[in-house]
Amino acid sequence: MSKPKAKSGTKSRGKASKPAPRKKRTASAGEVTPAGRSSLLWRLTKWSLVLAIWGGLVLGAVLVWFAWDLPSINDLGPAADKTRRPGVTILAGDGSLIAGYGDLYGRRLTVNELPPELVQAVIAIEDRRFFEHPGVDLRGLVRAMVTNLRAGGIVQGGSTLTQQLAKNLFLTPERSYTRKIKELLLALALEQKFQKDELLTIYLNRVYLGAGTYGVEAAAQRYFGTSARDVDTYQAAVLAGLLRAPSRLNPDNSTKAAHERASTVLSAMVAAGYLQPEEATKITKTRRPGRGNAATPRSRVKGQTRRYFSDWVLERAAGYAGSTTTDLAVETTLDPRLQSLAEAAVAKVDAKGAQVALVTMRDDGAVLAMVGGKSYGVSQFNRVTRALRQPGSAFKPIVYLPALEAGMSPDSVVRDAPITIDGWTPRNFSGKYQGDVTLREAVARSLNTVAVRVSEDVGRERVVQAARRLGITSPLKPHPSIALGAGEVSQLELAAAYAVFANGGFAVAPYGISEVRQGGDVLFRRAGATTRRVVSEKAAAQTTDMLRAVIDWGTGKSAGFGIPAAGKSGTSQDFRDAWFVGYVGNLVTAVWAGNDNNSPMDGVTGSTIPAAIWRAFMAPATNVGVADVERTTPSRNASGVRSPPRRIPERVPERLDSEFILDQLD
């Protein structure tokens, strides 16, 4: 029986047959084989490396490009302050702010010299992770981005204190990617060069904090009147709050905005763990931005005309700065209350288009108020200190002083009659002559011929010498017309001359500076009043006696307001200048009215506009109500009689000023 044939494709017994080749599997569309995957991964890796290398090269090139012109940070530190000029803060006698000049920087203080509360307030509100990040806070950037996206606008910034320092010191405030990249590079460089405490020190001494102040020391001095070393927690919160918007949030601009921002800072200090919630609540409810007593808003001398005084003081304070860069704090004699009254008096009285100036001082020369013109904004020219004008009859007390020192008295009789000197014949304002009169009467009625006669009798040189003793330094010529105030003087020195009469005869040098400080050092402190006598006590008292008659029943009656006052009006040629200068107790005030171009006024005399301004100021300045005063009190003469002398009408006509009009001199 034959064996059956093996089937095709099967193994025969006893001998292995060659296996049939396996059929290749075809990949379906879109399917990646293991070999393909390996090849793709290799290509991705390769190109990623290539891109990374090229990206690194490009980034490096970009960084080099931006870093090429970055400013140097090597000059930061204490030595950097040597290039700046000092600023000046002008303070009134009560410590309130008058004005600030220049960029104000305080003494450089290290972090270790500042109270911990101040550093904590700044860290809490501006950069809570300052001591942890390397200059750039990626976590803070992400947090700021999320917060801004949720708010639909920019409500939080991601810049660190180091970035802010870089921007403030080296870059412009423009918003651009270029500036931001440079800011980041500078921040990283600063962190590499300086320790954290050093960066904080630089930042806190350089950051702008509003009102022209740079650094916490200058800001603390300006807003609180104290050093940054002595600020409390609330004041620290106010200073830290300024970093967001120094011009809008500073106490000088808005105490309300400053307080609200300080409350936000205190809340941030609670969140950072620096304060307990109850502490922050108590401080927020009981404190307000202020100077000295924080419960009282910081005062400031208001009114644009205060700048006449501060400009005058600045000229004298600048010399104390020397070559140092620390800011000056200048404490002055200005009295804010009297300054406000002076400004109100000048504004109240209609000057008929003329300029007006007023200065008031104590009888030791301390200037308490100054209005150098009707509008500082229109004209910064200070008419009190810079203008030289003819004082007219306001100069006559100086003319009579040598006569009193030579033995005459207010009751001495002189002749009021026509007189001619070298072809010049002066006239009385009224055109009439009174015959024999006393010196008191001649002063009260401002009789010109008597003044000229006395001047000629005692000698014109002695009149000039008397003016020099009284502090008048302006050029004066011994011309016959000097008796009638034809020489030119400044308003300030004329007021000082009257102050000598007011204080009993002691020398007076007008001054406005009490103390100058630079950092913690006192550079200048005013000594006590001078004891140098330049006029005898008797002559000073006799002059006061005659000047009281002027206001009691003479040509200056319109200036009276019910208490003993001494003064004199004056009107120069063709009504070009009108004056009233006088004193009550130790308060001396001089008022001038006129035109800057020296043109005549429309019949304005010293007994009209200047006297009205003088009264409007002196009555409230001496706490006497003008409205309640109907009659003045007549002065006593040497015999003790209170009634006016003969020939003086009980009611002086309104225009009876007895000011002469100078004839044109050769």
Catalytic residue list: 126, 393
User: What angle, 0 to 180 degrees and rounded to 10, lies between the N-to-C axes of helices 396-405 and 460-469?
Assistant: 100
Contact call for residues 601 and 593 (beta carbons, < 8 A) = yes
C-alpha 520/C-alpha 424 separation (Å) is 62
Q: How far apart are CA 235 and CA 241, in angstroms?
A: 10
Phi, psi of 639 (to 5 degrees): -90, 0
Biggest CA-to-CA distance, the chain? 191
Instruction: Say if residues 125 and 243 touch (Cβ distance below 8 Å).
Output: yes
Judge whether 389 and 592 are in contact, CB under 8 Å: yes
**Distance between CA atoms of 393 and 389, rounded to whole angstroms?**
12
Dist CA 77 CA 419 (whole Å): 77
Which residues fall within 8 angstroms of residue 273, CB to CB, at 6 or more apart?
A: none
For tokens 């700021």, name the residue.
144
Distance CA 309, CA 96 (A): 14
- The rounded distance, in Å, linking the Cα atoms of 401 and 239 is 58
Nearest to 488 by CA among 363, 369, 603, 394: 394
| Residue 591 φ then ψ, to 5° | -120, 135
Contacts of 376 (CB under 8 A, 6+ apart): 304, 305, 307, 308
Residue 272, helix vs strand vs coil: coil
**Location of structure tokens 């970055």:** 70
Q: Which of 390, 331, 398, 333 is nearest to 361 (CA)?
A: 333
Give CA–CA dist 38/248, Å, rounded: 64
